[in-house]
């Protein structure tokens, strides 16, 4: 139970004390993948070239969501992130879009949750914009891909 740091010794949820932690540059990249029908993927791709920019709207949503992380995840500290970007990799064979969200900070605690929140809300926004034509999309495998900075060192999934 000691390992669940978001609880005090009585088991009560707590926003953990990071006052003494050093201000370091910290970077986290999270990954999420949305699986959709070929027809939907084609619509998205066509939209990108010219008009109907699903991925552009979803990118804006993801970046804005990174800034809302501490408002969404109860025990997250408010943080002043210094960078956020969202990249896509389209896999036409598997009919999937991979979302990579990277968040950077100079601060006392990591930005894993900010990256995960950005990736997730990006995926949900794609879902929202395509759901009229395809309700069977699945958001697959959201996870922390990479993390640097902080005392626990570098992490790679």
Residues 80-119 that bind a second copy (CB under 8 A): 80-87, 104-108, 112-113, 116-117
Q: What is the smallest separation between the CB atom of 5 and a second copy, expressed in angstroms?
A: 4
Cα separation, 130 vs 114, in Å, equals 25
Q: Is 153 in the site for a second copy (CB under 8 A)?
A: no
What the block records as the tokens of 129 is 């914009």
3-state secondary structure of 56: helix
Question: What is the longest distance spanned by two Cα atoms in the chain?
Answer: 57
Q: What is the smallest separation between the CB atom of 118 and a second copy, expressed in angstroms?
A: 10
Cα separation, 60 vs 118, in Å, equals 10
Q: What is the smallest separation between the CB atom of 92 and a second copy, expressed in angstroms?
A: 18
Active site residue 87: no
Closest CB to a second copy among 63 and 97?
Answer: 63
Tell me how many residues contact a second copy (CB under 8 A): 91
Choosing from 8, 42, 71, 128, which is the catalytic residue?
A: 128
Token pair 């100079």 in the structure block, residue: 106
Looking only at residues 4 through 63 of this chain, which bind a second copy when binding is defined by CB under 8 A? 4-8, 10-19, 25, 32, 43-44, 46-47, 50-54, 56-57, 59-61, 63
Q: Interface mask (CB under 8 A) for a second copy, residues 115-144, using x and -?
A: -xx--xx-xxx-xxxxxxx-xxxxxxxxxx
Token pair 């791709």 in the structure block, residue: 45
Report DSSP state, residue 73: S
3-state secondary structure of 89: strand
Which residues belong to the active site? 128
């Amino acid at each position: 139970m000691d390992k669940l740091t978001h609880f005090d010794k009585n088991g009560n949820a707590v926003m953990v004390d990071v006052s003494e932690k050093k201000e370091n540059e910290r970077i986290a990249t999270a990954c999420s993948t949305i699986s959709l029908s070929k027809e939907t993927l084609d619509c998205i791709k066509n939209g990108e070239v010219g008009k109907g920019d699903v991925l552009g709207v979803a990118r804006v949503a993801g970046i804005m969501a990174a800034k809302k992380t501490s408002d969404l995840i109860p025990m997250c500290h408010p943080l002043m992130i210094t960078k956020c970007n969202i990249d896509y990799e389209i896999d036409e064979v598997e009919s999937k879009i991979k979302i990579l969200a990277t968040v950077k900070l100079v601060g006392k605690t990591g930005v894993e949750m900010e990256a995960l929140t950005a990736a997730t809300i990006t995926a949900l926004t794609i879902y929202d914009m395509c759901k009229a034509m395809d309700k069977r999309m699945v958001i697959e495998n959201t996870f922390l891909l990479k993390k640097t900075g902080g005392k626990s060192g570098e992490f790679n999934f």
